[in-house]
Amino acid sequence: MTEGVNIIKKYVKNLPGKPGVYRMMDAQENVLYVGKAKSLKNRVTNYTNITNQPYRIARMVSETRTMEFVTTHTEVEALLLEANMIKRLKPRYNILLRDDKSFPYILIDTTHPAPQVKKHRGAKNRDGYYFGPFASVRAVNHSLHILQKAFLLRTCTDSVYNARTRPCLLYQIKRCAGPCVEKVSLRDYKKLVQSAHDFLTGKSQAIKDDLTERMEQASTDTEYEMAAIYRDRLKALAAVQSRQDTAQGHVEEADIIAGFQQGGQSCIQVFFFRAGQNWGNKAYFPRHHKDQNLDDILPAFLSQFYDNKPPPRALLVSHKITQSALLEEALTIKAGHKVTITCPVRGDKRNLVLMAEKNAREALERRLAEKSSQKKLLNSIAEQFKLDGPPERIEIYDNSHISGTNAIGAMVVSGPDGFDKGSYRKFNIKSPDITPGDDFGMMREVMTRRFTRQIKEDPDRTSATWPDLLIIDGGKGQLSAVMKILEDLGLSDIAVVSIAKGPDRNAGREDFYLPGQKPFKLPPNDPALYFLQRLRDEAHRFAISSHRQQRAKKMHKSILDGLPGIGPSRKKALLHHFGSAKAVEAAGLQDLEAVNGISRVLAKNIYDYFHENTA
C-alpha cells in the first residue's frame, strides 16, 4: 500500500492543474484504471490519502506501479477521451460496458435506379438513407416487413433484380411493386420510396391520410382491386401505430435509459424511440464492483455507450446524472446537435422511464436465476472431472470438413455467464502435411496455433483468456493428440476431457475420457450431462456454420480473382467482352488485347497466367 502511495506522490509533484486523463498501471503495465479530471493535480492527489477510500480504491492504489497522463484543453475533451480509452483498454477497476456491438440500421440504397431496402450494420459508406439505430435484428425485420406491406419496396439484391424476367413470389403476395419487370414505372416506384422515407422520419399520419384518400377514390371509381391494395397498406401502417405503447406521449426522438440493481449486479435497459416509433430495446449488464451504485454506473454507461454511436436529441434517464451538464456538452459535440439529459418525475415521460425500469428489473432477475443455475452446473463439472474449483473459462473444440476439403477447426468459450460469443475462434487448417480427413492432425494444428499464440501474448498467464478446462469432441485418440501438444508447450496443468458420441451417435450415452483413466459415462438424467451436451453441440454448430461459410465463399470466388493487375473495373470489362470467366480463360492473346482497358503487356500476363495454371 505504501509503495503505491509513494509512487503516486512522485507523479503529483510535476502534474499541472489542467484537465486531462490519467492511467494507473501495475508492474506488468496492465492498465488498472482510466480516469478524467478537471484538474489532474487535484484529482490524482486524492489517491495519496486512502484513509477514507473504499477497499476497491485502496487495492487499486496498492497495485499501482506507474502512471501515464494526457492533458486536454477542456474537461469535455477529457470525458470523451476517457470513454474511448476505457472501451479500448478495458481496465479492471473501471465500470465497463460489455457486449457493445454496433446496432443494425435500415438502409434505403439509392445507388440503383430502383432503390433497395435492407438491413445494414457497420460503416455508412454507401449512398442512401439510413434509419436507426434499432435495438436488434428482430426489430429491423419487423420494420422491413411493414415497409414491404405498406410501400411495396424491393428487398432483393441488385444481381437478382437484374436477372428477373418475370415477377417473383413477393410480387404475387403484394409485398413488392415489381419494378424489376416494369410492373411499376421507376417514377412511380420512387414515389413509393419517398413515402417510405417519410414514414421512417415520422410523417406516418400524412401518409395514412393520403392512402385513405386514394382508397376512397379508387372505390368511387369502382377500381376495387386497387382499393383493396390501398386498404392492405393502411392496415400495415395501422399495425405500427397500435404496436406503440399508449404511454408514449409525444416522444419523437429519444433513448429511454433505466437502471436496476440487485445482488451486487446491475442491468441498464435502453429503449429506442425514433420518428415517434418504438424501435426496440436491449438490456446491458455493465461490469462494476458491488459497492458501486447507479449514480456512478449510469454516467459511465452513457459516456461509453455513445462513444461509437450518435446520441438522439433527448435522453430520458431513471436516475439523476452527476455532472449532467458536462455529459450533455460532450454528447452535443459528438452528435452535432443539442442533446439533453432529463430525469422526468411525472407525466407520460415518467411512465416510459418506469416501463424501462420494470424491464431492467425483470432482465436482471432472469440473469441472476440463470447465473445461479450455471454456477451449480460448473460446480458439478468440477466435481465430476476432479478440478480444483468451478472453471471460469471452458474452451470446447470441434472440426468440420467434407472429405478433408475446406477444413475448419472451431473453438467456443463458456463460463459463469454462459457462452462468450465474442471469444469464439475459427482456424482454417493450413498445414500441407495433414492428410485430408485426418482429425488428429487437424486437432494438433488447432491446439498448436491456439496456445503458441497464447503463450506469446501472455507468457505469465495473468489474463482471463487462459482456459481452466478444455473439452474435445472425440475419443481417446483426440485426447492423446491434445495432451501431447500441451506437454510439448509446457501446459500439462490444463485440464482436458474428450467426449465421444455414444453408440449410433445417441445423445445421453456419451463416453468421457480423462488422461490416465478408463472411459466412463454420466448418469442419463444428470444435469451436468445435458450441460456438456449443450457445450459440445454449440461447438459443433459453430464449426459447421464456419465450414459452410468458407465453402460458400470459395464457390462464389471467380477464377479471375487471382489475376495480376486485374481490379474490379478490368474484371468487369473482361466479363462484358467475353461473357464468362471460362471464356476469358480460353481466350487467345489477340482477343485479350481487344478488350477495352487491357494493354498488350497485361493481356500477355493474363494469357500466361492461365497457360501456366493449366499446363
Is there a domain that residue 371 lies in?
Answer: no
Same domain for 485 and 581?
A: no
Choose the final residue of a domain: 205, 225, 247: 247
User: Tell me, what's the pLDDT at 247?
Assistant: 45
Beta bridge partners of 284: 268
Is the Cβ–Cβ distance between 247 and 259 less than 8 Å?
Answer: no
434 domain residue, yes or no: yes
Task: Clarify whether residues 319 and 242 are in a common domain.
Answer: no
**How confident is the model over 30-42, as pLDDT tens digits?**
999 999 999 999 9
- Cβ neighbors of 511 (< 8 A, separation 6 or more) are 475, 499, 500, 502, 519, 520, 521
96 within a domain of the structure (yes/no): no
Give the residue from 134, 128, 131, 102 showing the smallest Cα distance to 114.
128
C-beta neighbour count of 367 within 10 angstroms: 18
Residues 6+ apart with CB under 8 A from 181: 164, 165, 166, 167, 171
CATH number at residue 307: 3.30.420.10
* Residues 263, 120 share a domain: no
The C-alpha atoms of residue 79 and residue 327 are separated, in whole angstroms, by 8
Whether the Cβ atoms of residue 125 and residue 118 lie closer than 8 Å to each other: no
Is the distance from CB of 81 to CB of 72 less than 8 angstroms?
yes
Count of domains forming the chain? 5
Return the pLDDT at 478. Answer: 87
Residues 405 and 539 in one domain: yes
The reported pLDDT for the residue numbered 18 is: 93
Look up the domain containing 59 and give its range.
Answer: 2-89
Residues 445 and 484 in one domain: yes
Residue 503 makes CB contacts below 8 A (sequence gap 6+) with 509
* Same-domain check for residues 153 and 240: yes
**Among residues 59, 89, 119, which one ends one of the domains?**
89
Asked whether residue 135 falls in the same domain as residue 239, the answer is: yes
Residue given cell 486437432 in the structure block: 443
Domain contains 97: no
Please check whether residue 28 lies inside any domain of the structure: yes
Query: What CATH number does residue 575 fall under?
Result: 1.10.150.20
User: Between β-strands 314-317 and 254-262, what pairing exists: parallel, antiparallel or unpaired?
Assistant: parallel
CB 425 within 8 A of CB 542: no
Same domain, 79 and 113: no
pLDDT of residue 122: 81
**Residue at 375 is within a domain:** no
Q: Which of 176, 136, 140, 172 is nearest to 155 (CA)?
A: 176
Query: Is residue 418 domain-shared with residue 541, that is, in the same domain?
Result: yes
Q: Identify whether 379 is part of a domain.
A: no
pLDDT of residue 250: 63
Contact 293, 265 (CB under 8 A): no
Residue segments in the chain with a per-residue pLDDT below the cut of 50: 242-247, 613-615
Residue where a domain stops, chosen among 212, 247, 282: 247
- Whether 346 and 399 share a structural domain: no
Q: Could you tell me if residue 389 is inside a domain? A: no
Q: Both 477 and 563 in a single domain?
A: no
Residue 555: the pLDDT is 52
* CATH number for the domain harbouring residue 448: 3.30.420.340
pLDDT of residue 613: 44
Tens digit of each residue's pLDDT (9 = 90 or more) over 409-422: 889 999 888 888 88
38 shares a domain with 161? no
**CA triple 148-151-157, angle to 5 deg:** 50
- Rounded-to-integer distance, Cα 231 and Cα 192, Å: 16
Q: How far is CA 51 from CA 194, 317, 356, in A?
A: 64, 34, 39
